[in-house]
Amino acid sequence: MNEKNLIPLNQRTKSEQREIAAKGGRASGISRSFRSATKKRLKEHPELFDEIISMLERMSLDGDLKALDLLLELSGESPKQMELALRKRELKLKENAVKAVRETPDEIPGLYKALGDGDNDV
């Protein structure tokens, strides 16, 4: 195995770090633009959906994990989408809980008054 690839990023020079980061940024941009173009193309031509799905299925069965990720994303079942949905649901539940607390009548201060009045008798 090539030992130069195993050097941690913090042990590389600043120029090497920038070069590696730039490569990752370019690859990320290409990936995002491909996904965006694919989604746009599917919206414009829904009849292509079955063809693209079958192509991605073949690619993922051949071991292409990126194709599998894209297939899951297009079908709406990607882990990221599910996590986002769960976070939205959690946020809504928290907002409803806060709203419920704000809407409750001021029974607690009355309870403290009642308890305070009872302590004076002792």
Tell me the torsion sign for CA atoms 65, 27, 74, 77. Answer: positive
Does the model's pTM come out above 0.75?
Answer: no
* Below-50 pLDDT ranges, the chain: 121-122
For residue 122, what pLDDT is reported?
46
Two structure tokens written together for 29: 């941009």
For residue 108, what pLDDT is reported?
59
For residue 14, what pLDDT is reported?
93
For residue 21, what pLDDT is reported?
92
For residue 60, what pLDDT is reported?
79
76-91 core/surface letters (b: 16 or more CB in 10 A; e: else): eebeeeeeeeeeeeee
Domain ranges of the chain: 1-77, 78-122
